[in-house]
Amino acid sequence: MTQQDLPANEAAFHGGDIPLSPDIPPTTFREAGPNVEGNERIGSGLLGSILVLWGLRRSGLTGALAVAGGVGLVGRAATGRCAIKRAMQPRPYTRSVAKDHGWSSAVVTSAAVTIARPRPEVFQLWRDFANLPRFMKHVEHIEVITPHRSRWRVKAPLDRVVSWTSYITEEIQNERIAWEAEGSAEVPNFGWVEFRDAPGDRGTEVRALVAYQPPYGEAGRLLNTLFKETPTYQMRDDLHRLKQMMETGEVAVSGTQEP
């Protein structure tokens, strides 16, 4: 997928219009409008009203919880918005990735980190894919087949191990590497990483994005939303481990994220 193919929100991130921070990845973009409509909205209002009335007739914790839950449902019906449902729904870019690649579902994750090392040095370490398992905990092994093809063995959710052959689709020296899994991959995926000089001579800004079709389809995507040990939540830790490795020469046993 080239920059021209990216949706507007992702193209903006690619061009640097979105703040570069691990806490503001491009995949946080969501629709701002109502996400509860029709019968679901009516049902929320009715159930909420019943819970409020029932809770008011009860004393103690049970009644208080019923009233609180009912008020929440009434508010859901009144505004047409549900934060929990929105958090569980795929993001616009995620849906676009799944549609463009013919996937049943997609997981898109991204993160960024600033490393106090020169950009060519950071680029060269990443460009040798055999180095990636040194800081990516879920990657068991990468066999470099040719300068542009490599075989990946990766830990997946539910104690699975999956593998695929990946090939480089774009390379700009000291700036960008993009790759994609070959068509026979157990887990179809693509990704890219960019390297830029950090402001104030602070080293190198590294930004990465990975998208894949999760095992078990939509159920697999929801697992990635609910459980932080899944790959979606590992990228920030991986980049922080890269930062540790390049700045101190070693990786701590348990990483912490940048503030």
Cβ(93)–Cβ(78) below 8 Å: no
pLDDT at 198 over 70: yes
Q: Tell me, what's the pLDDT at 223?
A: 54
Q: Which two tokens stand for residue 87?
A: 């958090």
Higher pLDDT, 183 or 164: 164
pLDDT at 205 over 90: yes
pLDDT band, very low/low/confident/very high, at 224 (cuts 50, 70, 90) = low
Give me the chain's average pLDDT, please.
75
Higher pLDDT, 157 or 229: 157
Least confident range from 1-5, 96-100, 140-144: namely: 1-5
**Mean pLDDT, residues 91-120 taken together:** 83
Higher pLDDT, 109 or 119: 119
User: Residue 256's closest CA among 139, 117, 113?
Assistant: 113
Answering whether pTM is above 0.75, one says no
Cβ(216)–Cβ(230) below 8 Å: no
**Mean pLDDT, residues 207-222 taken together:** 70
Q: Tell me, what's the pLDDT at 181?
A: 93
Q: Tell me, what's the pLDDT at 133?
A: 93
pLDDT at 75 over 80: no
**Strand order, beta sheet including 160-172:** 107-115, 204-212, 189-197, 176-181, 160-172, 149-156, 139-146
pLDDT band, very low/low/confident/very high, at 34 (cuts 50, 70, 90) = low
- φ, ψ dihedrals at 8, nearest 5°: -55, -40
DSSP for the chain reads --GGGS-HHHHHHHHT-S---TTS-GGG----S----HHHHHHHHHHHHHHHHHHHTS-HHHHHHHHHHHHHHHHHHHH---HHHHHHSPPHHHHHHHHHHT-S--EEEEEEEEESS-HHHHHHHHHSGGGGGGT-TTEEEEEEEETTEEEEEEEETTTEEEEEEEEEEEEETTTEEEEEE-TT-SS-EEEEEEEEEPGGG--EEEEEEEEE--TTHHHHHHHHHH-TTSGGGTHHHHHHHHHHHHHHSS--SS-----
Cβ(224)–Cβ(94) below 8 Å: no
Cβ(164)–Cβ(185) below 8 Å: yes
pLDDT band, very low/low/confident/very high, at 33 (cuts 50, 70, 90) = low
- φ, ψ dihedrals at 115, nearest 5°: -115, 130
> What is d(CA 136, CA 65) in angstroms, rounded to the nearest whole number?
43
pLDDT at 176 over 80: yes
Q: Tell me, what's the pLDDT at 50?
A: 86
Higher pLDDT, 80 or 23: 80
